[in-house]
């Protein structure tokens, strides 16, 4: 009996469905069915959340933090009871100051119009510099990033400008334009990270890069003229130092050489005098032992030195009546 009742009820509903287009009362009867189907489909499509590998999902239940979702497919309460905010934690984000990237690619296009308010800064030596930089950061705590600071992006930009102006204000224009760029980048990165930790912003600073640092356009010609004059001054100083280094060491070397030669000559003369004195003392001691022999030897040595300087030598015996043959005493072996 129950089966027959169900079959009859099914036939009745089927007949009403056939009359759906022509009978408005049938349409009204099926409104609850359509509503139920719509609710079921809506619940089916809104109870799942897909989190990409580079993201983290923050679940808000009735607008209040509930939990954090890891990458993957997750169940959530439908009808926006659970709302999921996806945060890109593995993507490097950046904030540009003093310029904006209009179009990125092989030839990236930039624009710096009407951005002087965030790039013009006063240096420590009361000069003005146009500083353009970019701050690269990552999100490390999605909950803090979403809920700890209101208008986090605006606050983060204000913090960047404040820290950069403080660091630039402690240095001269030459440091900023030349050797101090890396020091400024490191200091800004460290101080900015301290502020982010203090405000619990949930971000980590990867890098601060000074893109372009120049004097303002209105004073750039004058500034370039001053730089050129300073470069010429340094060039002349380097030339003078080079000339000094080439002349003074050579003169000092020559002076040292003359002094050493004089010292050597003095030592030589002293040694020769000492040697002559020792020789004289030795001869005198020998003379005391044998005066005649020593006198004869000194005579012969003296005559040997004298006769060696005489060109033609003729020896004549005063007791002989004739002329003796010539005695050949010349060093060449011939008579003169």
For residues 130 and 116, what is the distance between their CA atoms, to the nearest angstrom?
8
Judged by average pLDDT, the poorest of 110-124, 156-170, 247-261 is 110-124
Share of the chain above pLDDT 70, in %: 76
The reported pLDDT for the residue numbered 36 is 74
For residues 89 and 139, what is the distance between their CA atoms, to the nearest angstrom?
5
Say if residue 140 is in the same domain as residue 117: yes
Nearest to 85 by CA among 118, 60, 112: 60
Q: How confident is the model at residue 329 (pLDDT cuts 50, 70, 90)?
A: low
Residue 2 resides in a domain: no
What does the pLDDT average to over 125-149?
A: 91
**Mean pLDDT taken over the chain:** 80
pLDDT greater at residue 117 or residue 266: 266
The reported pLDDT for the residue numbered 73 is 83
Domain end: 88, 112, 130, which one? 88
Say if residue 207 is in the same domain as residue 102: yes
Say if residue 135 is in the same domain as residue 37: no
CB of 138 within 8 A of CB of 206?
yes
Judged by average pLDDT, the poorest of 28-37, 40-49, 207-216 is 28-37
> Is 80 exceeded by the pLDDT of residue 79?
no
Residue 29 resides in a domain: yes
Domain end: 163, 198, 217, which one? 217
Say if residue 283 is in the same domain as residue 303: no
Say if residue 213 is in the same domain as residue 223: no
Say if residue 212 is in the same domain as residue 239: no
Q: How confident is the model at residue 94 (pLDDT cuts 50, 70, 90)?
A: very high
Residue 147 resides in a domain: yes
Classify strands 100-103 and 120-122 as parallel, antiparallel or unpaired.
Answer: unpaired
Cα angle 277, 283, 305; round to 5: 90
> Is 70 exceeded by the pLDDT of residue 320?
no
What does the pLDDT average to over 244-270?
A: 89
Residue 8 resides in a domain: no
Q: How confident is the model at residue 6 (pLDDT cuts 50, 70, 90)?
A: very low
Contacts of 112 (CB under 8 A, 6+ apart): 98, 99, 100, 119, 132
Say if residue 161 is in the same domain as residue 57: no
Residue 4 resides in a domain: no
Number of folded domains that form the chain: 4
CB of 191 within 8 A of CB of 138?
no
What does the pLDDT average to over 291-297?
A: 78
Q: How many CA atoms lie within 13 A of 95 on its CB side?
A: 19
Residue tagged 């760029």 (tokens): 181
Say if residue 133 is in the same domain as residue 190: yes
Say if residue 195 is in the same domain as residue 168: yes
Say if residue 24 is in the same domain as residue 43: yes
pLDDT greater at residue 27 or residue 295: 295
Partners of 109 in the β-ladder? 103
Say if residue 101 is in the same domain as residue 213: yes
The reported pLDDT for the residue numbered 26 is 53
Residue 316 resides in a domain: yes
251: containing domain: 219-289
Kindly calculate the radius of gyration of the chain based on its CA atoms and give it in whole angstroms.
56
| Domain CATH for 210 | 3.30.479.30
What does the pLDDT average to over 241-251?
A: 87
Residue tagged 């970019």 (tokens): 134
Say if residue 75 is in the same domain as residue 179: no
Cα angle 210, 213, 217; round to 5: 150
Domain end: 217, 240, 275, which one? 217
Judged by average pLDDT, the poorest of 33-42, 109-118, 211-220 is 33-42
> Is 60 exceeded by the pLDDT of residue 27?
no
């Amino acid at each position: 009996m129950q089966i027959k009742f169900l079959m009859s009820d099914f036939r009745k509903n089927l007949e009403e469905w056939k009359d759906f287009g022509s009978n408005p009362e049938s349409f009204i009867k099926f409104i609850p069915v359509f509503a139920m189907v719509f609710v079921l489909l809506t619940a089916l499509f809104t109870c799942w959340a897909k989190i990409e590998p580079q993201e983290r999902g923050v679940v808000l239940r009735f607008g209040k933090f509930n939990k954090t979702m890891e990458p993957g497919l997750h169940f959530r309460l439908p009808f926006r009871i659970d709302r999921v905010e996806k945060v890109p934690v593995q993507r490097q984000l950046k904030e540009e100051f003093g310029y904006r990237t209009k179009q990125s690619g092989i030839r990236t296009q930039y624009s710096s119009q009407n951005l002087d308010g965030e790039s013009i800064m006063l240096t420590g030596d009361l000069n003005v510099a146009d500083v353009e930089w970019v701050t690269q950061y990552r999100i490390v705590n999605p909950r803090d990033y979403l809920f700890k600071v209101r208008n986090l992006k605006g606050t983060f930009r204000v913090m960047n400008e404040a820290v950069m102006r403080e660091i630039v204000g402690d240095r001269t224009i030459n440091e900023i334009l030349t050797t101090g760029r890396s020091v400024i980048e490191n200091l800004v990165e460290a101080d900015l990270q301290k502020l982010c930790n203090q405000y619990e912003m949930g971000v980590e600073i990867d890098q601060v890069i000074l893109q372009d640092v120049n004097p303002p356009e209105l004073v750039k010609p004058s500034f370039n003229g001053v730089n050129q004059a300073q470069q010429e001054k340094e060039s002349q100083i380097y030339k003078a130092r080079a000339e000094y280094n080439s002349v003074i060491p050579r003169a000092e070397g020559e002076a040292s050489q003359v002094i050493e030669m004089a010292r050597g000559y003095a030592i030589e003369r002293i040694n020769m005098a000492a040697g002559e004195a020792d020789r004289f003392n030795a001869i005198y001691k020998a003379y005391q032992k044998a005066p005649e022999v020593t006198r004869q030897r000194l005579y012969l040595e003296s005559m040997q030195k004298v006769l060696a300087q005489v060109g033609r030598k003729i020896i004549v015996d005063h007791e002989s009546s004739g002329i003796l043959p010539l005695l050949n005493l010349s060093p060449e072996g011939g008579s003169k």
